[in-house]
Amino acid sequence: MRLASYTVRGRAGYGAVTGDGLVDLRTRLGPRLSTLLDVLRAGALEEVAATATGVRPDFPLAEAELLAPVVSPEKILCVGVNYANRNAEYKDGTEAPKYASLFMRTPGSLVGHGQPIVCPKVSSQLDYEGEIALVIGREGRHIAREHALEHIAGLTLCNEGTIRDWTRHGKFNVTQGKNFDATGSIGPWMVTADALDLSAPLHLMTRVNGETRQDDTTANMIFSFADLIAYISTFTTLKPGDVIVTGTPTGAGARFDPPRWLKPGDVVEVEVPEIGTLRNTVVAEA
């Protein structure tokens, strides 16, 4: 099942994507379940599936402006350097990390599918990072690795856009360069876990203006989905709607010589066949 959050005809909602249409679930399940975040917190995905099954779409998908699949999650945790060949990309002679590198993003730093990504006026170094994102469906703390996948509600895609020179403003952090408003994107929808084989490798690709820049599979991740959930839940309680962005393969613009930064007019696509394609156009900050 594909679940999306959106605005259509001036009204916010969420629904099931069926072919080229949307089944509006907010009108059928609200006010108790008025957002997808409400659904996840209530553990109501089965109820949602039953409500959407066999129902004709209420309007065409093309009429909707897609938002982040989960609007305003409590936490967005991002993982750095999580593909085996990414560590070698740094050329610093270090071994593969023992623990995951983590940082946080604000919801406002990520727009939905089809919405413009903004190149800020204070920097020309806007970069792309295609990634797979986990959406948590069950609360947990100290989650055992063997049970970790049971806590995933579904998967979505993320372009974890980064302002590279601003990741080096501080000595020990990358927060500034990772949180400029509307510099990344997430979506286009969440594919529920029951429609995926979470133990099988997923093929992740990123294209800029049709040119493939990143092409890898999750088989090359240093820390698997289960590893990340187990590790993160050691220090914080994972809650329904939380998002874990799981890392990007080699091929980001910063690693070319010379670097290939995004510029206004560029179109970035992040694709996993089992999930879909997240597409955004870059615009200059007003």
| CATH number of the domain to which 124 belongs | 3.90.850.10
Name the band, by pLDDT with cuts 50, 70 and 90, for residue 90.
low
> What pTM was estimated for this model as a whole?
0.96
**Average confidence (pLDDT) over 30-41:** 96
- Considering only the C-alpha atoms of the chain, give the largest distance between any 2 of them, rounded to a whole number of Å: 57
Contact predicate 131/184, CB 8 Å: no
Are residues 34 and 101 located together in one domain of the fold? no
Residue 283 host element (H or E): strand 276-284
CA–CA separation, 2 and 241 (whole Å): 15
CA–CA separation, 144 and 53 (whole Å): 33
Mean pLDDT over the full length of the chain: 95
Position 92 pLDDT exceeds 60: no
- Specify the number of domains making up the chain: 2
Q: Which of 66, 87, 112 is the last residue of a domain?
A: 66
Say what the pLDDT of residue 74 is. 97
Please give the residue range of the domain that contains residue 175.
Answer: 76-284
Are residues 214 and 124 located together in one domain of the fold? yes
Are residues 135 and 233 located together in one domain of the fold? yes
Are residues 41 and 125 located together in one domain of the fold? no
Total Cβ atoms within 10 A of residue 204: 26
**Average confidence (pLDDT) over 226-237:** 98
CA–CA separation, 98 and 91 (whole Å): 17
Position 94 pLDDT exceeds 70: no
Contact predicate 240/154, CB 8 Å: no
CA–CA separation, 274 and 31 (whole Å): 31
Say what the pLDDT of residue 85 is. 75
32 contacts: CB under 8 Å, gap ≥ 6 = 38, 42
Position 45 pLDDT exceeds 90: yes
Are residues 29 and 143 located together in one domain of the fold? no
**Average confidence (pLDDT) over 197-211:** 97
Residue 71 lies in a domain: no
Are residues 62 and 122 located together in one domain of the fold? no
Residue 8 lies in a domain: yes
Say what the pLDDT of residue 89 is. 57
